[in-house]
Structure 1
Amino acid sequence: MTPIEEYIQTMPAERKPILTELYHFIQTIVPEAEEKISYGMPTFYLNGNLVHFSNAKNHIGFYPTPSAVTAFQEQLTKYKTSKGAIQFPVNQELPWELIRQIVLFRKSENAS
């Protein structure tokens, strides 16, 4: 079991499916990334931290760094954001295509 899978196993039962889906989705985008727990959160690492995610009481936290939040600010207007974080409400479908674009942005950013 990977460290990220171990993290997910500690989460409430109702959150495990979406966290597992998010984990596998990011894996398919960056299969070459190292997976680890950093800052207490599942982390994908490739030439530096790419993205982190976490479970919170009312949202899934997605942490793609401040540069990605700034770059995608127009697409993120319906989500609560802060300097390097995006909050995806748990009562809504995750924006899969947006997540894919952000992960690819971060991959490109870390490659340069």
Structure 2
Amino acid sequence: MKSEVAKSIDEYIGRFPKDVQDILQKVRSIIQKEAPEASEAISYAMPTFVQNGNLVHFAAYAKHIGFYALPSGNLAFQKEISKYKNGKGSIQFPLDEPIPYTLIKKIVKFRVSENLEKQKKKTQKKKTTNSKKPILKKS
């Protein structure tokens, strides 16, 4: 039987042993502090923070915490994440090693500014596009 997807981050975190819950709560609080305007969601069955698009996701597994900062987050911190197993947009922090909370904080800050910049460009593009529309005169 497939386990049901959690409906909230609280429910998601509550499904894990106390030691893992503590780590997940700390990750969550870092994200909340660095992205106070972000909203919480469950996306891809994982805790997700959204601010002008997906910001970051995180999840717990048997032997690691998965942190998903999208490809751009990983590219910006290639050197720092090189000691962890990582992919295009994922990083695995082993549960048997100290979790790099300072690195998580830096990545979240980067993603917030990146998403804000994207939103600014999008807004500017809309204004430019709207200002180029011809004005129709009534006859």
Runs of 4+ in 1 over 4 A off after TM superposition: none
Match of 2:111 among 96, 106, 112: 106
The CA deviation at 1:99 is 0.8
The CA deviation at 1:16 is 1.0
1:41-60 → structure 2 map (5 Å cutoff): 41-60=46-65
Report the RMSD for the aligned CA atoms in angstroms: 1.2
Match of 2:11 in 1: 6
Name the structure with the higher helix share: 2
Match of 1:74 in 2: 79
Distance 1:47 1:40 in 2: 20
Larger Rg: 2
Whether 1:21 and 2:26 are equivalent positions in the alignment is yes
- 3-state SS of 2:82 partner: coil
Match of 2:98 in 1: 93
Q: Which runs of no fewer than 5 residues in structure 2 stay unpaired? A: 1-6, 118-139
Name the structure with the higher strand share: 1
Moved more, 80-89 or 7-16: 7-16
The CA deviation at 1:72 is 0.5
Identity value in percent = 50
